[in-house]
Structure 1
Amino acid sequence: MDRIIFKVTKEDEGKRLDNFLKYEKGFSTRLIKKITKNDCVFINGKVAWADDILKEGDEIEVIIKENKSQDISPEDIPLDIVYEDEDVLVVNKPPFMVVHPTKSHQSGTLANGVMNYFTKTSQNCIVRLVNRLDRDTSGLVIIAKSQFAHQAMAKMFENNQVKKEYLAIVEGKMEGKGTIDLPIDRPSLDSVKRCVIETGQRAITHYEVIKSNNEVSLVKLLLETGRTHQIRVHLSHIGHPILGDELYGNKSHFINRQALHAYKLVFKKVRGDSLVECKADLPLDMLKVLKEYNLE
């Protein structure tokens, strides 16, 4: 059971309770209906209704009762925890690790390790992934600890309120900074590979070259949208595929995966207005590549 408390400020006085929970606090319409129907919302200690009008100084208490069963086996997998609070856990995922169990990867996933961590620390949580990374992409993954936190974080991602920065080592010499604004989609329904296609979804990637030589470049990338394989597709399309990316580029002698790392996330705390900034240093295999190309 999660107990969440909100204080009504002057700016929110006069708003309906349901609108406050939905538009200011990130609750879904479905969850609001559930908690109000089951008498799980209180204003100043009294059961509240969805159409109650808020006053400055009101204390809103929300009780969320969840089914916290999940078919993910805890496994003692070391986790590189970058940040944790009452609502989220941020982990630096190593390369070659799947984030969630699938038919072909039933164990050894990030979710198995997170479930073990929740069990060991006596946190009655299930694994709710807010963002995902490809198996071969390393870096920061956010796990929400409740349905409320998951919805709030998902809304931040949807509204482009989470700053997502990556580092990539790409083929060839790139220079300066710029924006790639090109739509992406599958060329066919059974295709794993994506491509730039006129009828696709809009995808925006901002880039800035950190250092480069005639062989490779280290590039910082800021995602404004979050399409599948977006960075890999965009960089390949402009003639600078990520080093080691065999799907969109070429095999590398120095790294056996795409040299892509989700290194920075900035987001607002689920409860409160303070910002959280998480960073994960480049993994050893990418540092080794930079050394091989004299870009360390």
Structure 2
Amino acid sequence: MAQQIELTQTVTEQQLGQRLDQAVAELFTDFSRTRLKEWLITGKISVDGNVVTKPRTKVLGGEVITVQAELEDEERWEAQNIPLEIVYEDDDIIVINKPRDFVVHPGAGTPDGTILNALLYHYPQIAEVPRAGIVHRLDKDTTGLMVVAKTVPAQTRLVRALQKRNITREYEAIAIGTMTGGGQVDKPIGRHATKRTLMAVTISGRPAVTHYRVAEHFREHTRIRLRLETGRTHQIRVHMSYIQHPLLGDQAYGGRARIPKGATEELAEEIRAFDRQALHAVMLRFDHPITKETLEFHAPVPDDMVEMAAALRLDAKNHRTEEY
């Protein structure tokens, strides 16, 4: 069932001369500008009891604005009993540690079996929240922390915080090649010109900024920590590939196996067998959308990446010993 809402606010004197869509956005901050504008032009918003559908209508101050609308349930998606690893939960948000091989949202080729389907099962009321409360996504084989909103106000505020770059997201990764130091990649990302399922650095793309620092050197690989300013699709994978250090195991963006010279057959096989991008969302920090309390969460690096780093570390140690 759709959730019926009726909200009322009074235009302030400071909003004199504003367009109606601007005033509405300032008065009803629990909803996105896009949603409010859609309600406005479809007759869901009235001014002093009269429905107004023109966003450019000017306000004078003192008008009573009423929103009468519906929040559609996510009924088109099936609720499925899929386990979730919950790191934190309260009345407004859920923080999840996502495993590999788990798609966040249904789409082409993945109609179900996703985190969204699991959320609808474990939290039926989340159907009243757009996208079942999903605020940001991780790629299918990227592991780690995600925050999900249980309510519309929580989701709207988290999305706004994400847009304002007020949510800190840190990742751990293993990159191919020996990186000399940290830095940042500030390059726009958009849809790949010929491979439509992939992204690429392109002049017509949206702004994207990734910061990275070296955590540990190996012979032909580097363990790194990354921090996102923006959240474009495949951002870390695209940016690291762009600077010639694709992620280990990332076949889509050039992360083909690189075997260190003189490596043991065991290590060579372990590198060849690593079959996902070596990327994990290790830390998430944000202000709670309702209480404003600063929250910080950490998710341990998964076993496959820990074991891979240990093998590369041993290889580097053995070859240092041989050099002496």
Deviation at 1:204, TM superposition (A): 1.1
- In 1, distance between residues paired with 2:301 and 2:27? 37
Partner of 1:22: 26
Q: Tell me: CA distance 1:88–1:27, structure 2 relative to 1, closer, same or farther (3 Å).
A: same
Residues 71 and 128, structure 2, Cα contact 8 Å, conserved in 1? no
Relative to its length, the structure with more helix (as a share) is 2
The match for 2:100 is 95
Q: Is it true that 1:143 corresponds to 2:148 in the alignment?
A: yes
Distance 1:96 1:229 in 2: 15
Matched ranges for 1:27-66 at <5 A: 27-29=31-33, 30-31=35-36, 37=46, 51=61, 66=71
- Consecutive unaligned residues in structure 1, runs of 5 or more: 4-12, 40-48, 54-61
Decide whether the 8 Å contact of 1:22 with 1:28 is kept in 2: no
Partner of 1:222: 227
Matched, 1:282 2:286: no
Larger radius of gyration: 2
Q: What SS does the corresponding residue of 1:167 show, helix, strand or coil?
A: strand
- 1:154 alignment partner, SS class: helix
**1:253 partner letter:** R
CA shift in 2, pair 1:260/1:123, >3 Å: closer
247-256 or 273-282, which moves further after superposition?
247-256
Question: Post-superposition shift, 1:50?
Answer: 11
Instruction: Pick closer, same or farther for the CA change 1:50–1:156 going to 2, 3 Å.
Output: farther
213, 236, 242: which one aligns with 2:241: 236
TM-score w.r.t. the length of structure 2 is 0.71
For 2:79, give the aligned amino acid. P
Cα gap change, 1:243 to 1:69, in 2 (>3 Å): closer
Q: How many angstroms apart in 1 are the aligned matches of 2:60 and 2:162? A: 26
Greater alpha carbon shift after TM alignment, 238-247 vs 251-260: 251-260
Shift of 1:38: 10
Equivalent in 266, 274, 277 of residue 285 of structure 2: 266
Q: CA deviation at 1:226?
A: 1.7
How many Å apart are 1:115 and its aligned residue?
1.4
Report the Cα distance in structure 2 between the residues aligned to 1:51 and 1:66, rounded to whole angstroms: 28
1:132 aligns with 2:137: yes
* Cα distance change, pair 69–137 in 1 and its aligned pair in 2 (3 A): closer
Q: Secondary structure at the match of 1:176?
A: coil
Structure 1 contact 211–295 (Cα < 8 Å) conserved: no
Q: 1:238 to 1:67 in 2, by over 3 A?
A: closer
Q: How does 1:153-168 map to 2 (within 5 A)?
A: 153-168=158-173
1:190 CA drift (Å): 5.2
Kindly state the Cα deviation for residue 172 of structure 1 after the two structures are TM-superposed: 1.9
Deviations 1:62-107 (A, max 9, x none): 9996333422222222111122222222211111111122242223
Q: Which letter does structure 2 place at the counterpart of 1:22?
A: E
Sequence identity percentage: 35
Q: Rate the CA distance shift 1:125–1:20 in 2: closer, same or farther, 3 A.
A: closer
